[in-house]
A and B are shown apart, each in its own frame.
Chain A
Amino acid sequence: MKKQKQECFGGFFNPFDLLSEEIIFMILDLLNHNPLDRKSFSLACKSLYATESKHRRTLKPLRQEHLPSVLSRYPNITHLDLTLCSRLTDTSLSIISNVCAPNLRSIDFSRSRLFSTSGLLGLAINCKNLVEIDLSNATDLKDSAMAAVAEAKNLEKLCLARCKSITDMGVGCIAVGCRNLRFICLKWCLGVGDLGVGLIAVKCKLIRHLDLSYLPVTNKCLSSILKLQHLEDLVLEGCFGIDDDNLAVLEPGCKSLKSLDVSTCQNISHCGLSSLINGAEGLQQLTLAHGSPVTSCLADCLKKLSLLQSVKLDGCVITYDGLKNIGNWCASLRELSLSKCSGVTDEGLSSVVTKHKDLRKLDITCCRKITDVSIAQITNSCTSLTSLRMESCTLVPREAFVLIGQRCCLLEELDLTDNESFLFAGLKSISRCSKLASLKLGICLNITDEGLIHIGKGCSKLLELDLYRCAEITDLGISAIAQGCPGLEMINTAYCKDITDRSLLAVSKCSRLKTFESRGCSLITSLGLTAIAVGCKELTKLDIKKCHNIDDAGMLPLAHFSQNLRQINLSHSSVTDVGLLSLASISCLQNITILHLEGLSPSGVAAALLACGGLTKVKLQAAFRWLLPHRLFEHLEARGCMFQWRDKVLQVELDPKCWKLQLEDPMP
């Protein structure tokens, strides 16, 4: 790399001498979109290389093998993201702890394995300034590792989600060792109970965020938790051990609480909830998803919370009285989620939205009973809505959608998935929402190119567009979108069967594109894919399943140009060994799905798997399991790759309309 330095100024005058380091730092601050930009910047000349090395604060290394050289190049790293290094040995940890010792503040191990207690201990002891560790998914770490982490005395943020092997003892060590802890996540740490959590609450007085999701805790630890003076965010999702009994005797406490999540706690009714939030007048966010039924009593006990802004009631049974009482709250809600709530009727929803006129975000996904009455009421009173999610509101007639575009012009996010009656007229009105960033029109079978042309004209800020199974769409519509929305980052044209390479050529002009999904578009070929690969350098996710016309010719440019590709699905395409092997040159490729590829031989698969060093997840035909040597898979698994074996028979693609009918068939 260093050899490529350019000596463009002949050595007598270097205009870069006039630029101070600070100015170059400011330029670098803005170079954030494509990681490759920084790379080319630092490759320009020696001084820029040195400046970039000095400037960089965060690092996300691809392979642990490169850690020694990378770390010595970037001495000022404060944040080290090791999520791409699925294999991380103690040796690497000791290198990190020796090289980055004085500066390192944050380190993320959430996707890494293989390191052990001794590595963590060295890290905790050497890096005195470490304030943040993410150890999520370290399922094999035991209490001794927690004792090692506890040596990091200045730790403020610790994430231990899914560390299943740790127990109260380990958490106790952390509670005693890390007195400055402000944020701790113990989600799914199934070995941790009341005692560990109670000790955290006793010892770490500065705790602000406490996540106890799915822990087998009971009411015993709650009293000490609610005594925490600074607690702002408490997550008790899925704590089935907490119930109404004894909750009533809790002393009023925790005035600092701002956010409470008691979703999936079926044993907490309105009585328990009211004693939990007793004294917490400053509560702003409340999540009661999948909990006990939202009745008038429950709604009443939240009446007094004047600062409440966001309430999530997803999946609850809601009565009419409950909804009506929500309308009587003294707070004016900004965010309300009623997705998958049974019992949401036009009357109830109307009484809510007429009172909470300031609503910014509304989620009424799968509220199948609501009709145009609700939509009229919502659009009438909540004109400042920025996000409306109304997937599968099947009773809403086509006329109602026009109102959305007419009245809620500030919308940024609109989810209309599975609203069959949604039509051209609706899209035309929605095109007036000029701020729209995310539009989801999946399974809206009736939308046509004309509608998309309107969107392309009106919504220039669109970032995400989902056209899943919008079978009427052709190249015309896609081209209009690609022209009108240059900033597009995600487009899903799956099963839009009429799409050809022309669409892809148009989309390739959206240079920011990160996710491209075109399953079942059998007309597109390697040519179109080549255009995408050349034009969209930031592409990270590609799904070309069932694109039969894509073959190795499409893979070669992809392997060459899309150096940011992380995830690819090649199932049912015509790619062979050669194309697959060529993908090995994409160094950050992590996730590949190669099912039903007829041109694939066992040895080709083996070669490709061995060549792709960074793979973490591979979906393979089960047959390969027996065709390839067992030792190969052992080796790959040791490198950090997981295999998912699939043995599904090939399904004939159904007609789009047929597919919808078949989907609805099993439902009552």
Chain B
Amino acid sequence: MDLKERLSGDLQNKEHPSFNNFNTQNQQNWEDPSMLDYSTRIEPPHFLGFNQSSQTQPSNNQIKVPGQDGPVNETLQANKVQEWDPSAMLNNLSFLEQKIHQLQDLVHLIVGRRGQVLGRPDEVVAQQQQLITADLTSIIVQLISTAGSLLPSVKHTLSAATPSIGQFGQFGGVVFPPGQGMNGGVQPQNASASKVSEQPNTVDVSSNSGNEQNHIIEEHDMKDEEDAEDGENLLPGTYEILQLEKEEILAPHTHFCTICGKGFKRDANLRMHMRGHGDEYKTPAALAKPHKESSSEPTLIKRYSCPYAGCKRNKDHKKFQPLKTILCVKNHYKRTHCDKSYTCSRCNTKKFSVIADLKTHEKHCGKDKWLCSCGTTFSRKDKLFGHIALFQGHTPAIPLDENKGSIGTSDRADSNQAANKVGSMNFNFSNNVSGESGVQSSMDVKGSVDDPAGFFSPLNFDTCNFGGFHEFPRPPFDDSESSFSFILSGSCNYTQKSGEE
């Protein structure tokens, strides 16, 4: 929100009349208290196309619609009336038309101004994109909500509406086929959305022209938001997406000396190296960290996409979640899409593709000595005892003893419930798995010794989504599903010590 306000403020400084108008309107809206709680006022059925689950348990859903304009409020309020109201619809449509015309004018204006601002074309273009993005977002949201009011009776409205969204998208010069993107975002959820209803969902509906992107809908599970890499929860379109090629990612060096060609992992090292090539590289300016420009002009935040098609971190993915830095990209790509070539020398079972992961593991390898009869291992004794106190029939397993009996006594109902939970969680992240129980046992539950949230990190789910899961054999216990599944609902710090993975 700050960003947007600042953007609009910047634009105001340009003293363009039409911008002015727009901005004042915008700011009023932010101050409008009714905006703050609009999400509660929105009736879920309007977003049926995006999330059917909301229909079954509306109270569980929180729907955010950021990037609004004032009139949306009215529209939304109008939409609160459940009945199909033709006159309201007409109002909405005419308002939309007006809005689109405004936007058209704006784009015209930008096209006209393009020749004048030669000095720093990038920033200006970025600002313009930003502005159009915001406008288009509001238009699309309105359109959708308008269409949504029809949905209880007419289910196919959405598919009819989708191309029009695509048209809006084209205003901003969309690179990717917009219609496809929309559909990709919408349809799979409809397929089995009813399963989602078990958890509260936070649905970010932020639609915009999205010059280079098609992730119109972001659907997060609550747990997923805890993931460190996505903590900021950026609005789509407020950042620039870069995608490195596979070769680039896997290259050992990213910085090369222009004189001798030597490669370096860090640019600082390269700069140190450059000093040897002559005095001109020894000046403070040459040694200073590059790209440190004056931040008076807002630069678009950079985010990264994984080049692996179908990956959730790939920008084509319907629930795309960008990666924050190049390092994240590298680690993600290696962890998820590469062979695990580093084997732990201690246990000879754990394999890693990132050497740092191996080192972290080796520090703790063999220390997970606290074992429950259900096969779960714990690095800390108190965690094991908490686990045992929680579940009936689980006992501490004494090492040296071959696992004798006493598993499978766990409460059936309990574990079944937990299993369902896993199922729905899986669904949230990956439609292709859709709660299939077999996946539960093969899920990668590595790491996360000290970070409970780590277990739910998208990385792990990615692993199981993309063919990785066949690498992980099932745990040795026969009823691993039940014994494993309660872990999710139980205490968090553990690792599944079984077989490989």
Contacts and interface: CB of A to CB of B under 8 A. Distances in A.
A252 to B, nearest CB: 23
B415 to A, nearest CB: 17
B393 A147 contact: no
A207 to B, nearest CB: 15
A404 B259 CA distance: 111
A315 interface: no
A596 B395 CA distance: 56
A146 B401 CA distance: 12
B381 interface: yes
A291 interface: no
A153 to B, nearest CB: 12
A47 to B, nearest CB: 47
Given A195-B382, A195-B385, A198-B385, A176 B394 contact: yes
B356 interface: no
B150 to A, nearest CB: 56
A169 B397 CA distance: 8
Interface in A158-211: 168-170, 172-173, 176-177, 195-196, 198-199, 202-203
A196 B382 CA distance: 10
Nearest to A172: B396
A143 interface: yes
A144 B393 CA distance: 17
Contact of B396 (A173, A198, A202): A173
Contact of B395 (A176, A196, A198, A202): A176
B398 A144 contact: yes
Nearest to A193: B381
A485 interface: no
Nearest to A179: B392
Interface in B294-322: none
Interface in B390-442: 393-396, 398, 400-401
Given A144-B400, A144-B401, A147-B398, A176 B393 contact: yes
Nearest to B409: A176
Chain A CB within 10 A, most for which of B385, B389, B396, B400:
B396
A150 B389 contact: no
B388 interface: yes
A176 B405 CA distance: 14
Nearest to B404: A147
B395 A168 contact: no
Interface in B22-58: none
A203 to B, nearest CB: 7
B389 A198 contact: yes
B388 A199 contact: yes
Given A144-B400, A147-B401, A173 B395 contact: yes
Interface string A241-262: 0000000000000000000000
Nearest to A201: B389
Nearest to A174: B395
A168 B330 CA distance: 43
Contact of A172 (B385, B393, B400): B385
A606 B385 CA distance: 53
Contacts of A150: 395
Contact of B398 (A143, A196, A202): A143
B398 A199 contact: no
Given A198-B385, A199-B388, A169 B398 contact: yes
B371 to A, nearest CB: 9
A203 B382 CA distance: 16
B60 to A, nearest CB: 33
Contact of A168 (B381, B393, B400): B381
Given A169-B398, A170-B398, A177-B395, A202 B381 contact: no
Contact of B388 (A144, A146, A170, A176): A176
Given A172-B395, A173-B396, A195-B382, A202 B389 contact: yes
Contacts of B393: 176
Contacts of A196: 385
Contact of B385 (A142, A144, A146, A199): A199
A553 B381 CA distance: 64
A355 B76 CA distance: 82
B411 to A, nearest CB: 13
Given A195-B381, A195-B382, A172 B388 contact: yes
A221 to B, nearest CB: 10
A203 B393 CA distance: 10
B233 to A, nearest CB: 38
Contacts of A198: 385, 389
B389 A199 contact: yes
Contacts of A173: 395-396, 398
Given A144-B400, A144-B401, A173-B398, A168 B388 contact: no
A322 B396 CA distance: 47
B396 A169 contact: yes
Nearest to B405: A151
A170 B400 CA distance: 13
B398 A168 contact: no
B342 to A, nearest CB: 32
Interface of B: 381-382, 385, 388-389, 393-396, 398, 400-401
13 contacts: A143-B398, A144-B401, A169-B396, A170-B398, A172-B388, A173-B395, A176-B388, A176-B396, A177-B395, A195-B382, A199-B389, A202-B389, A203-B389
Interface of A: 142-144, 146-147, 150, 168-170, 172-173, 176-177, 195-196, 198-199, 202-203
- Top 3 A-B pairs ranked by shortest CB distance? A172-B396, A176-B395, A195-B385
Given A147-B395, A173-B396, A195-B385, 10 more contacts: A144-B398, A168-B396, A172-B396, A173-B395, A173-B398, A176-B388, A198-B385, A198-B389, A199-B388, A202-B389
